[in-house]
């Protein structure tokens, strides 16, 4: 048993105090490992950089000598020691769906970031006692008795986020005898009736397609912010969702709330249960290289939205909006011609989820989702509606997850090709493992269900007029993307350049509002690292987009297969 006590003083400083005690089992030395990354985000994070103080003591409170073996592995001399106590603190000042945060209003922990396992003792029970205000409630999927949580093994501990607060709002719904918990932290007014109706619908759909649920209960932990935010992280029995502003989550941002929740629930099967062989088991100390990010996130992105549609929670307009957003992200990323989606997923371990070098790679989210859309429609056509991508995922669940083994990229590809035939094999070769243009293939497969791609102008005016995308950072307008061979590119303007003026005037408010009145030519004042110059750009039609629309006169066969696709 590993006994943890968690407390804090001066919460505005954001330091959480940890103390854990355990028997040495007569070991002469003991090693204590903190994770270098967290499952669900495939990049090194080096959480140990948040530890300010670390010490070890014997059963008589005498200091024990220790040293660091790696950046996140501590070794303690325990020769002759019966019981060891380790104390440390952790800086918790990052509020997102996968981090740790402490202030005067809540204590929020993701144990994978801040709690240790003992090398060669990963399967032991953890008992965690919280020294927190008496009026605080604790939200967790671990076993709970008042202010004490218990869980068996580090894998489950690492997968069990915790929120302690006196403002938690809690509701539940039930599907197939499984209780699903909704926890809201932050200022908001949940419409419980609306939430229950929609959550029951898409949850039923997901369980139906897999024929069962991997765990005995499930928790949604919402971190609601007063500012705009959007982030989700999956775990075995729960998920954390960061969303805001709180006053908009039941109306303007309700589709976003549903989208991220359906996505993360689907992960309960895909990646938490149906897991790549390279991560079976997890190695928390280093990169777990794998190339099937297109399955982990591509299938989940596509299916998360599809489940909302086939359950009736999303109408056609809401669903096709998600697909068109994927196409927009694909078309505005010229990395699609440089690095395949399989290789891009592998390289998340290199440069994470940031933009990085311009047009270097593509994404395992929108780009892989488009690939899964294409594979789904090819399978439906090839089997005359008898099979679909759902069939592939159910087979993976039954043949791998339920048998407690990981799948390989060949396993996934072979099942898809078995149902979809040669054309699916070509999608793998050309688009998942290759960098050929998606659009001709996408146009062809959409015809299967009576859909087509229609050209549309980019709603982002700087992208449409000049071929660049900019964001506001610290009050400055910074260019982040430039379309190759656009008028912006040809005039020598590049990512990270700053726009200081438009037509000689400082930019007040949003750049898009400033550009609305532009007709033929615009003069931009561009500040680079060592120079500032004024450049004239001609208004054009850049960063062109495509959107999915229904064809006017579909055939009976197209309508039949569309019905299979939408209601499958």
Residue 172: the pLDDT is: 98
Q: Which residues pair with 545 in a beta bridge?
A: 456
Task: Write out pLDDT tens, residues 183-212.
Answer: 999 999 999 999 999 999 999 999 999 999
Residue 178 lies in a domain: yes
Regarding whether 220 and 97 lie in a shared domain, the answer is no
- How do residues 424-481 score in pLDDT, each as one tens digit? 999 999 999 999 999 999 999 999 999 999 999 999 999 999 999 999 999 999 999 9
Give the pLDDT of residue 517.
81
The length of the chain is 568
Q: CA–CA separation, 266 vs 273, rounded Å?
A: 10
- Domain-embedded: residue 552: no
Mean pLDDT of 205-232: 98
Give the angle 111-162-11 at the CA atoms, nearest 5°.
90
Q: Are residues 250 and 307 in the same domain?
A: no
Q: Number of folded domains in the chain?
A: 4
CA angle 341, 347, 352 (to 5 degrees): 110
What are the φ and ψ backbone dihedral angles of 401, each rounded to 5 degrees? -60, -50
DSSP string, 10-62: -GGG-EEEEEEEEE-TT-SEEEEE--SSBTTB-S---GGGGEEEEEEE-TTS-
Question: To 10 degrees, what angle do helices 366-382 and 409-420 make?
Answer: 40
Does 544 reside within a domain? no
Q: Is residue 404 exposed (0-12), middle (13-18) or buried (19+ Cβ within 10 Å)? A: exposed
Between the two ends of the chain, the Cα-to-Cα distance in Å is 47
Residue where a domain terminates, one of 207, 242, 268 = 268
pLDDT in tens, 298-357: 999 999 999 999 999 999 999 999 999 999 999 999 999 999 999 999 999 999 888 789
What does the block give as tokens for 42? Answer: 């495939």
Q: State the Cα–Cα distance between residues 362 and 342, nearest whole angstrom.
A: 9
Task: Say whether pLDDT at 420 is over 90.
Answer: yes
Instruction: Report residue 421's pLDDT band, with 50, 70 and 90 as the boundaries.
Output: very high
The domain boundary, picked from 268, 302, 328, lies at 268
Q: Return the CATH number at 172.
A: 1.10.390.10
Q: Does residue 140 sit in the same domain as residue 17? A: yes
Q: How far apart are CA 252 and CA 248, in angstroms?
A: 5
Domain identity same for 298 and 340? yes
CA angle 312, 207, 204 (to 5 degrees): 35
Average pLDDT, the chain: 97
Q: Would you say 217 and 181 are in contact if contact means Cβ atoms under 8 Å apart?
A: yes
Shared domain for 349 and 474, answered yes or no, is: no
Q: Are 32 and 87 found together in one domain?
A: yes
Q: Please answer whether residues 371 and 432 qualify as being in contact, where contact means their C-beta atoms are separated by less than 8 angstroms.
A: yes
Query: What's the pTM?
Result: 0.97
Could you identify the residue written with the tokens 């006196």? 166
Q: In 319-403, where do the E strands start and end?
A: none
Residue 245: domain span: 168-268
Residues 258 and 303 in one domain: no
Q: What is the domain-level CATH number for residue 86?
A: 2.60.40.3650
Residue 274 contacts residue 393 (beta carbons within 8 Å): yes
* Domain assignment of residue 325, yes or no: yes
Q: What is the pLDDT confidence band of residue 409, given thresholds at 50, 70 and 90? A: very high
Q: How many CA atoms lie within 13 A of 333 on its CB side?
A: 27
CATH number of the CATH domain containing 515: 2.30.42.10
Q: Which two tokens stand for residue 349?
A: 């371990």
- In a domain? residue 68: yes
Query: Within this chain, do residues 433 and 475 fall inside the same structural domain, yes or no?
Result: no
* Domain end position, chosen among 144, 165, 186: 165
80 and 154 assigned to the same domain: yes
> Are both 86 and 151 inside the same structural domain?
yes
Question: CA dist 557 to 310, 419, 449, 562, Å?
Answer: 20, 19, 8, 8
Helix axes 556-567, 366-382, angle to 10 degrees: 120
Are residue 446 and residue 299 in the same domain, yes or no?
yes
Helix (H) or strand (E) holding 121: none
Integer angstrom CA distances of residue 531 from 191, 497, 527, 534: 54, 10, 6, 10
Residue with tokens 């609306």: 194
Between CA 402 and CA 424 the distance in angstroms is 26
The verdict on residue 38 lying in a domain is yes
Report if residue 502 sits inside a domain: yes
Asked if residue 518 has pLDDT above 90, the reply is no
Per-residue pLDDT tens digits for 117-163: 999 999 999 999 999 999 999 999 999 999 999 999 999 999 999 99
Q: CA 182, CA 258: separation in Å to the nearest integer?
A: 13
Task: Yes or no: say if 20 and 86 are a contact pair by the CB < 8 Å rule.
Answer: yes
Quick one: 35 and 137 in the same domain?
A: yes
Q: Tell me the percentage of the chain whose pLDDT exceeds 70.
A: 100
Quote the pLDDT of residue 353. 86
Residue 79 maps to a domain: yes
């Amino acid at each position: 048993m590993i006994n943890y006590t968690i407390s804090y003083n001066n919460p505005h400083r954001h330091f959480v105090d940890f103390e854990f005690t355990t028997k040495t089992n007569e070991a002469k030395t003991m090693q204590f490992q903190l994770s270098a990354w967290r499952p669900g985000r495939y990049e090194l994070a080096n959480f140990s950089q948040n530890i300010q103080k670390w010490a070890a003591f014997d059963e008589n409170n005498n200091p024990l000598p220790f040293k660091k073996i790696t950046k996140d592995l501590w070794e303690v001399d325990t020769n002759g020691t019966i019981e060891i106590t380790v104390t440390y603190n952790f800086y918790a000042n990052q509020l997102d769906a996968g981090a740790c945060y402490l202030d005067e209003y809540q204590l929020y922990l993701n144990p994978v970031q801040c709690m240790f396992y003992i090398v060669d003792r990963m399967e032991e029970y953890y008992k965690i006692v919280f020294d927190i205000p008496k009026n605080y409630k604790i939200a967790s999927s671990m076993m709970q008795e008042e202010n004490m949580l218990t869980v068996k093994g580090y894998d489950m501990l690492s997968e069990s986020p915790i929120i302690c607060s006196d403002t938690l709002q809690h509701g539940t719904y039930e599907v197939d005898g499984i209780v699903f918990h909704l926890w809201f932290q932050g200022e908001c007014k949940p419409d419980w009736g609306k939430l229950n109706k929609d959550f029951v619908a898409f949850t039923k759909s997901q369980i139906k397609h897999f024929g069962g649920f991997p765990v005995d209960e499930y928790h949604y932990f919402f971190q609601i912010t007063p500012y705009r935010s959007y982030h989700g992280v999956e775990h075995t029995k729960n998920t954390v969702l960061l969303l805001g502003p709180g006053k908009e989550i039941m109306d303007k941002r309700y589709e976003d709330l549903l989208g991220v929740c359906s996505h993360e629930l689907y992960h309960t099967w895909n990646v938490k249960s149906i897991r790549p062989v390279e991560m079976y088991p997890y190695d928390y100390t280093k990169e777990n290289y794998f190339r099937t990010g297109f399955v982990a996130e591509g299938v989940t992105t596509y299916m998360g939205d599809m489940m909302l549609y086939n359950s009736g929670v999303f109408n056609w307009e809401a669903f096709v909006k998600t697909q068109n957003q994927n196409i927009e992200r694909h078309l505005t990323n010229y990395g699609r011609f440089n690095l395949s989606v399989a290789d891009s997923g592998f390289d998340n371990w290199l440069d994470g989820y940031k933009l990085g070098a311009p047009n270097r790679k593509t994404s395992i989210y929108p780009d892989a989702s488009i690939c899964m859309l294409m594979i789904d429609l090819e399978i439906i056509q090839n089997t005359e509606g008898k099979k679909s991508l759902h069939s592939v995922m159910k087979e993976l669940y039954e043949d791998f997850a339920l048998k407690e083994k990981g799948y390989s990229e060949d396993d996934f590809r072979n099942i898809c090709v078995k149902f979809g035939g040669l054309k699916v094999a070509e999608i793998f070769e050309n688009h998942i493992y290759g960098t050929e243009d998606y659009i001709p293939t996408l146009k062809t497969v959409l015809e299967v269900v009576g859909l087509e791609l229609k050209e549309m102008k980019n709603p982002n005016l700087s992208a449409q007029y000049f071929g660049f995308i900019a964001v506001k950072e610290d009050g400055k307008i910074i260019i982040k993307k430039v379309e190759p061979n656009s008028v912006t590119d040809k005039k020598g303007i590049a990512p990270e350049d700053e726009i200081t003026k438009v037509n000689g005037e400082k930019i007040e408010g949003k750049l898009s509002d400033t550009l609305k009145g532009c007709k033929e030519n615009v003069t931009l004042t561009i500040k680079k690292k060592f120079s500032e110059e004024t450049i004239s750009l001609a208004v054009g039609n850049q960063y062109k987009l495509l959107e999915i629309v229904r064809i006017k006169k579909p055939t009976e066969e197209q309508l039949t297969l569309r019905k299979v696709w939408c209601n499958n």
